[in-house]
Amino acid sequence: MASTIYDYLLRRKTDLEARMHEAQRRAMAPFEDELKALGLAIEAIERGGLGLGEGEHVEGETASFAPSGVTRRGRKGRSAREMILLVLGNGDAAIAASEISRKLTRRWGRAIPLAAVMTELQDLEQEGLARHCDRGWVRLDEPVAAIAPFQISA
């Protein structure tokens, strides 16, 4: 009896797999047809020379589809790290993290939370690009070998 139930379950499983495969094929058919039609339309436009060339974009296109590299005003986009390094300058004077955050908001119009500024500053310190002293943060001209924060000496 065990082999009969086992055989039945195997047949039932095979039947269900075949039905699922067929249902999946039928469900995908309309999408495949539409995809083929879109592909043919795009090819026809490109053959007619009406397609967009390299670097061109539609006027109403969103920024995510537009060519990257520069922003709307022609300026290069900067990361928070780059902006913090620019604010720190050449290491002339120490600047507090709150002052760095204020300068970022005033200079670039980007309000970066103090916690994010502190995280970036700590990363810069670990990489040897900035140093924290009692008066604030200072940019280092040459990256130095950073000391691990929890280094145990023997």
Report pLDDT digits (tens) over 33-67. 888 888 888 888 888 776 655 555 444 444 444 44
User: Which residues have a Cβ under 8 Å from the Cβ of 11 and sit 6 or more positions away?
Assistant: none
What is the pLDDT confidence band of residue 17, given thresholds at 50, 70 and 90? very high
* C-beta of residue 129 within 8 angstroms of C-beta of residue 146: no
- Map out the domains of the chain as residue ranges: 1-51, 68-154
Check residue 149 and give its pLDDT: 57
Query: With a threshold of 0.75, does the pTM exceed it?
Result: no
By three-state DSSP, how is residue 139 classified?
A: strand
pLDDT at 21 over 90: yes
Check residue 7 and give its pLDDT: 92
The pLDDT tens digits of the residues spanning 22-32 come to 999 898 888 88
Residue 139: count other Cβ atoms within 10 Å of its Cβ: 19
The pLDDT tens digits of the residues spanning 91-149 come to 567 888 888 888 888 877 777 788 888 888 888 888 888 888 888 888 887 665 545 55
CATH class name, domain 68-154 = mainly alpha
* C-beta of residue 131 within 8 angstroms of C-beta of residue 137: yes
User: Which residues have a Cβ under 8 Å from the Cβ of 136 and sit 6 or more positions away?
Assistant: 94, 95, 96, 97, 99
Bridge partners, residue 95, by sequence: 137
